[in-house]
Amino acid sequence: MPDYQLYCFAQSGNAYRAALMLNLIGADWKPVYVDFFKGGETRTPKYRAEVNEMGEVPVLVHGDKKLAQSGVILTYLSEHSGKFKPEGEDERLEALRWIIFDNQKVSGYLGPYRFLRTLAKPPGHPAVLEFFKGRIDNVLGILDKRLATRPFVVGAEPTIADLSLVGYLYYPPEEFGFDITAGHQNIAAWLNRIKALPGWTHPYELMPGYPLPQ
């Protein structure tokens, strides 16, 4: 039995954050596949009763602990491993600030945009997609500006704030219909720095469920 089990599926950038962190810290972990697309598993009463009342992935199981919300999972893993851990009150609060910004606005817009554009059947209404795209352009601009003055989001070293923000950023550009790194050279360089960390793996290799059955 591995130390950690992660409920996840390959297309979930929210789950990728936790999977990536587990890999980067060299944890003994295994994924538990959640059939989100065909089976609608996260919406079943069983999943909500037994795995996560919020009806979401990721969920991390560690001993008798069952944790949901990727920000909570990243915090827990950083405290247990001592890795990617923001040090001191200022850094801790700064990392939390970016994790919340990511959940609400960076991944919070990119995830639904990609889902409605590429994965939902039928796809989302063009007006909804246009709304999200405007928001995405704005938040990517904010992130790119932040990364102009430091190698990682908090400072000189990578922390859980970076691992949160990259959640959706390694998926293929075709799935978004645009290249996230185009016009965002600081984001492009930062993504390469994170990709160079030992243990980095693409979401489609790290989590089960890709490609989707037709």
Does 75 engage in binding with ligand GSH (CB under 6 A)?
no
To ligand GSH, the closest distance from the beta carbon of 13 in angstroms equals: 6
Q: Are 137 and 187 in contact (CB under 8 A)?
A: no
To ligand GSH, the closest distance from the beta carbon of 148 in angstroms equals: 26
Number of chain positions touching ligand GSH (CB under 6 A): 12
Among 14, 78, 159, 181, binds ligand GSH (CB under 6 A): 14
To ligand GSH, the closest distance from the beta carbon of 12 in angstroms equals: 4
Looking at residue 94, what DSSP letter applies?
H
- The rounded distance, in Å, linking the Cα atoms of 64 and 181 is 41
User: What are the tokens at 155?
Assistant: 């400072």
Subset of residues 100 to 129 that bind ligand GSH, contact rule: CB under 6 A: 103, 111
Among 58, 86, 158, 203, binds ligand GSH (CB under 6 A): 58
User: What are the tokens at 129?
Assistant: 């997609």
To ligand GSH, the closest distance from the beta carbon of 112 in angstroms equals: 9
Does 212 engage in binding with ligand GSH (CB under 6 A)?
no
Looking at residue 40, what DSSP letter applies?
-
Is residue 4 exposed (0-12), middle (13-18) or buried (19+ Cβ within 10 Å)? buried
